[in-house]
């Protein structure tokens, strides 16, 4: 005769088998109050919670069952999976291992283990696990697709495609494999094919939220922004708690300059998933772009705290205007590079290049167009010694053929290759086939970056220059160009690259012309007796501490105004509000818009003094101001980005305009604002010396740079590892 406990257990299991989970749970919970060692009751309660997708409660029940019988395969198997499903992957690993030990040939146990180690970033181990699954069950479509996902993650895209195709040959209606293949095709810039695969996935599974969001990402790449938004909205209608779709939609709204809406979507994504990849950084840089400083320091502190776990929190470029800390910049770059562009051996070792008559230089950039990088480097490419070097452009972004600076650049190179439509590995292969000796990345961690090209080792020597003001955090970038103002000896440890020290960091175009159009103060609504302070830096570079300095300067110089660039009306409104809150009338803040480059240079001539930002200094804008004859005051910090303007002022022999504290910066700006004759003297000094200075002598700069290239190349031929190269003496 069955005991009351046995009858209760049977009744509870019966309700469970009929999916009457509430009744089953009620009976089984009563049972464990009577018998706290009833293993089957704990186990079935765990299964009930799994069925309800309440994985955390399931874990609790399975743990109690495992304590009663640690050698039961089913208990360990389900405990490991429930831990993984509740995002406790690290804790799940020992239980996966026990399950596998108890049933070595269980393909599903190996599959679950593979998924957990993959989520933990142990991609090599994940691949080994998937190979074990496929040894046990060669026709396991999910394992083929999942292994393809790991190969995608480590940038082995062609191999990933082969695995998706194998999965689809085994299971032709496998929607997830189609969507995953679409993701890989998207990375290979095969956008139309990617869209076709997402559409196929959605035809098989119309409620597939992830496929809608992924398709939105591809449409975003194609700049089909409105259509992308529609796909994110569809994903969210199917899955309202889909954090990634909110974040992706925020990115597209940002592209459309719908800043307030973008901010709301980042906020929503982070409320659903506080550690979602890169959203925290995207949100914070957007706030800076808007000059929305509400709770800014709290947000920055939170970001730093979140980063302690080495998560994918912020992209390196986004950190530069927030924090002046070269050690942290290095750490962020290393995390970002490891996750996005790890060292990739897929092309194998690069063949050793013997000494040749001409060294082949490959300059890689998405900015061979009307862009600050192109405006600075045009004369450099023209000036290279063609008896020693062959100079080849790898243009990573298509631009208008009517773009005058692009036309000039096309005539500056020995070869100009439009390769933006190619994948990273295809471009790296091309560079190898062309026997490029030194590859120079002019982009770094900035917009439209293609760091993946260099992760495949496009050339024996790889150099970072100009575009990104910091370390790349990559072991495959050999050298970084700088000068001794920017990187002092004690800061070398903050860079993964070896440093090439030049007399001056920034190259310039000494041929650039200034418009004949004359700007007047009257056009700005400013009287002739006013002192015009200006800063045309990007808005995200303005921190509250800098703005407060500017307001204190205006208070001390009665007849002064501040002339700024504003990207949008949102920026204007926010800065006016901030000025008023600090006791400055809105009439003393004047905003300018983007105008033609030659006219922009001429516009500097109606200004009296350029006020720099910290921790992200003026770069091109500072050298533009100096070229136009306008003095620049800077506050030198610790990091690369916070020392660039000091480098420029040193190179043009104006060290008296470099300050080392906020107080010194303000006092100097006030002193000069109250002494117009000193400003006239500084302007005259610039005009008298600029063409002879390290800053604007492009031919001399090119000569030093070429000597550095030759020395790096000689080290390579000798089989020596990269090392610092010091050509800093003028």
Domain count, the chain: 3
Segment 430-489, tens digit of pLDDT: 999 999 999 999 999 999 999 999 999 999 999 999 999 999 999 999 999 999 999 999
- 46 is a domain residue: no
Sign of the dihedral through C-alpha 226, 228, 234, 236: negative
Q: Is the pLDDT of residue 550 over 70?
A: yes
Q: Is there a contact between 29 and 21 (Cβ–Cβ < 8 Å)? A: no
Compute φ and ψ for 561, nearest 5 degrees. Answer: -135, 165
Cα separation of 698 and 578, whole Å? Answer: 41
Q: Is there a contact between 155 and 342 (Cβ–Cβ < 8 Å)? A: yes
Together in a domain, 336 and 368: no
pLDDT value of position 730: 64
Q: Is the pLDDT of residue 1 over 60?
A: no
- Cβ of 56: how many Cβ atoms within 10 Å? 13
pLDDT value of position 711: 97
CA 342 centroid distance within chain: 14
Lowest mean pLDDT among 59-63, 397-401, 404-408: 397-401
- 597 is a domain residue: yes
Confidence of residue 3 (pLDDT cuts 50, 70, 90): confident
pLDDT value of position 2: 66
* Percent of the chain's residues with pLDDT above 90: 94
Segment 488-536, tens digit of pLDDT: 999 999 999 999 999 999 999 999 999 999 999 998 889 999 999 999 9
Segment 590-600, tens digit of pLDDT: 999 899 999 99
Together in a domain, 299 and 402: no
Tokens 């749970």 locate to 25
Together in a domain, 365 and 489: yes
Together in a domain, 460 and 421: yes
Segment 64-79, tens digit of pLDDT: 999 999 999 999 999 9
pLDDT value of position 637: 98
Q: Which two tokens stand for residue 215?
A: 């398709």
Q: Which two tokens stand for residue 717?
A: 């031929």
- 568 is a domain residue: yes
CA–CA distances in Å: residue 692 to residues 142, 449, 701: 67, 34, 12
- Cβ of 573: how many Cβ atoms within 10 Å? 13
- 19 is a domain residue: no
DSSP state for residue 518 in the 8-state scheme:
P
CA–CA distances in Å: residue 46 to residues 14, 87, 109, 586: 15, 17, 18, 64
- 228 is a domain residue: no
Together in a domain, 472 and 539: no
pLDDT value of position 139: 97
For the segment 356-382, the average pLDDT, to the nearest whole number, is 97
Q: 94: phi > 0 → left, psi -120 to 50 → alpha, else beta; which?
A: alpha
Secondary structure class of 124 (helix, strand, coil): helix
- 681 is a domain residue: yes
Sign of the dihedral through C-alpha 57, 62, 68, 70: negative
- 599 is a domain residue: yes
Q: Is the pLDDT of residue 311 over 90?
A: no
Q: Is the pLDDT of residue 157 over 90?
A: yes
Tokens 């970033």 locate to 121
Residues shown for the chain:
730
CATH number of the structural domain spanning residue 529: 3.40.50.2000
Tokens 């490891």 locate to 338
**Chain-wide mean pLDDT for the chain?**
96
Q: Which domain holds residue 608?
A: 521-692
Q: Is there a contact between 534 and 563 (Cβ–Cβ < 8 Å)? A: yes
Together in a domain, 479 and 540: no
Together in a domain, 585 and 688: yes
For the segment 10-35, the average pLDDT, to the nearest whole number, is 93
Cα separation of 665 and 660, whole Å? Answer: 7
* End-to-end Cα spacing for the chain: 101
Bond preceding residue 615 cis, omega within 30 of 0: yes
Query: Dihedral angle at the C-alpha atoms of 262, 264, 266, 267, nearest 10 degrees?
Result: 160
Q: Kindly tell me the burial class for residue 638, based on how many C-beta atoms sit within 10 Å of its own C-beta (0-12, 13-18, 19 or more).
A: middle
Together in a domain, 497 and 403: yes
Together in a domain, 461 and 603: no
Q: Is the pLDDT of residue 305 over 60?
A: yes
DSSP 227-274: HHHHHHHHHHHH-TT-HHHHHHHHHHHHHTT-HHHHHHHHHHHHHH-T
CATH number of the structural domain spanning residue 466: 3.40.50.11380
Sheet with 658-659, side-by-side order of all strands: 589-592, 560-565, 531-535, 609-611, 632-635, 658-659
**Cα–Cα nearest to 322, from 487, 474, 544:** 544
- 710 is a domain residue: no
Give residues with Cβ within 8 angstroms of 590, minimum separation 6: 524, 525, 526, 561, 562, 563, 564
Segment 320-357, tens digit of pLDDT: 999 999 999 999 999 999 989 999 998 999 988 888 89
For the segment 136-155, the average pLDDT, to the nearest whole number, is 96
For the segment 552-565, the average pLDDT, to the nearest whole number, is 97
Together in a domain, 395 and 485: yes
Q: Is there a contact between 119 and 150 (Cβ–Cβ < 8 Å)? A: no
Together in a domain, 570 and 439: no
Compute φ and ψ for 398, nearest 5 degrees. Answer: -70, 140
């Amino acid at each position: 005769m069955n005991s009351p406990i046995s009858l209760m257990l049977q009744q509870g299991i019966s309700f469970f088998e009929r999916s009457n989970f509430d009744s089953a749970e009620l009976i089984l919970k009563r049972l464990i109050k009577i018998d706290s060692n009833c293993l089957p009751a704990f186990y079935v309660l765990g299964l009930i919670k799994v069925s309800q997708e309440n994985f955390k409660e399931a874990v609790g029940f399975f743990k109690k069952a495992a304590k009663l019988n640690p050698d039961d395969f089913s208990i360990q198997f389900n405990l490991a999976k429930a831990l993984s499903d509740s995002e406790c992957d690290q804790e799940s690993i020992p239980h996966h291992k026990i399950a596998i030990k108890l049933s070595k040939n269980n393909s599903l146990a190996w599959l679950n283990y593979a998924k957990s180690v993959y989520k933990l970033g142990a991609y090599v181990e994940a691949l080994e696990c998937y190979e074990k699954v496929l040894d046990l069950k060669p026709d396991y479509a999910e394992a083929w697709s999942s292994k393809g996902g790991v190969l995608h993650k480590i940038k082995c895209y062609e191999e990933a495609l082969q695995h998706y195709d194998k999965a689809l040959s085994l299971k032709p209606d496998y929607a997830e494999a189609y969507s995953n293949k679409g993701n890989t095709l998207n990375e290979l810039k095969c956008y139309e094919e990617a869209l076709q695969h997402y559409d196929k996935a959605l035809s098989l599974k119309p409620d597939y939220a992830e496929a809608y969001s992924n398709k939105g990402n591809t449409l975003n790449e194609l700049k089909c922004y409105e259509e992308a938004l529609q796909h994110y909205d569809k994903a969210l209608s199917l899955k309202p708690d889909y954090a990634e779709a909110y974040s992706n939609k925020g990115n597209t709204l940002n592209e459309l300059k719908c800043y307030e809406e973008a901010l709301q979507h980042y906020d929503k994504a982070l409320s659903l998933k506080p550690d979602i990849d890169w959203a925290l950084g995207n949100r914070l840089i957007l706030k800076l772009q808007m000059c929305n400083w509400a709770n800014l320091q709290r947000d920055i502190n939170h970001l730093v705290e979140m980063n302690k776990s080495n998560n994918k929190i912020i992209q390196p470029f986004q950190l530069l205007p927030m924090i002046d800390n070269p050690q942290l910049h290095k750490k962020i770059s290393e995390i970002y590079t490891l996750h996005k562009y790890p060292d990739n051996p897929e092309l194998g070792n690069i063949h050793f290049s013997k000494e040749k008559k001409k060294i082949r230089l490959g300059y890689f950039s998405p900015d061979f167009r009307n862009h600050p990088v192109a405006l600075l480097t045009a004369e450099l490419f023209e000036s290279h010694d063609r008896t020693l070097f062959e100079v080849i452009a790898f243009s990573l972004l298509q631009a208008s053929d009517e773009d005058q600076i692009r036309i000039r650049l096309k005539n500056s190179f020995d070869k100009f290759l439009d390769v933006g439509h190619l994948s990273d590995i295809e471009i790296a292969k091309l560079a190898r086939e062309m026997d490029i000796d030194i590859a120079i990345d002019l982009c770094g961690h900035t917009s439209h970056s293609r760091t993946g090209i260099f992760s495949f080792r496009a050339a024996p020597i790889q150099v970072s220059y100009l575009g990104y003001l910091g370390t790349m955090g990559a072991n495959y970038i050999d050298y970084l160009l700088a000068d001794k103002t920017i990187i002092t000896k004690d800061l070398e440890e903050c860079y993964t690259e070896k440093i090439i020290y030049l007399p001056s960091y920034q190259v310039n175009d000494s041929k650039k012309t200034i418009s004949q159009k004359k700007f007047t103060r009257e056009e700005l609504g400013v009287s002739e007796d006013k002192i015009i302070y200006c800063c045309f830096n990007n808005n995200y570079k303005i921190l509250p501490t800098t703005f407060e300095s500017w307001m204190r300067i205006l208070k001390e110089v009665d007849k002064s105004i501040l002339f700024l660039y504003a990207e949008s009306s949102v920026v204007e409104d926010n800065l006016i509000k901030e000025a008023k809150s600090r006791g400055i009338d809105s009439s003393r803040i004047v905003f300018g818009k983007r105008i033609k480059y030659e006219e922009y240079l001429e516009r500097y001539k109606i200004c009296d003094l350029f006020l720099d930002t910290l921790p992200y200094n003026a770069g091109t804008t500072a050298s533009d101001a100096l070229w136009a004859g306008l003095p620049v005051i800077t506050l030198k910090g610790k990091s690369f980005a916070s020392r660039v303007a000091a480098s420029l002022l040193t190179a043009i022999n104006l060290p008296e305009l470099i300050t080392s504290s906020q107080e010194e910066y303000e006092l100097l700006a006030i002193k000069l604002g109250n002494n117009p004759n000193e400003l006239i003297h500084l302007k005259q000094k610039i005009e008298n010396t600029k063409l002879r200075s390290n800053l604007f002598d492009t031919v001399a700069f090119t000569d030093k740079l070429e000597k550095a290239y030759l020395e790096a190349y000689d080290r390579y031929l000798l089989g020596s590892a990269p090392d610092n190269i010091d050509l800093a003496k003028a």
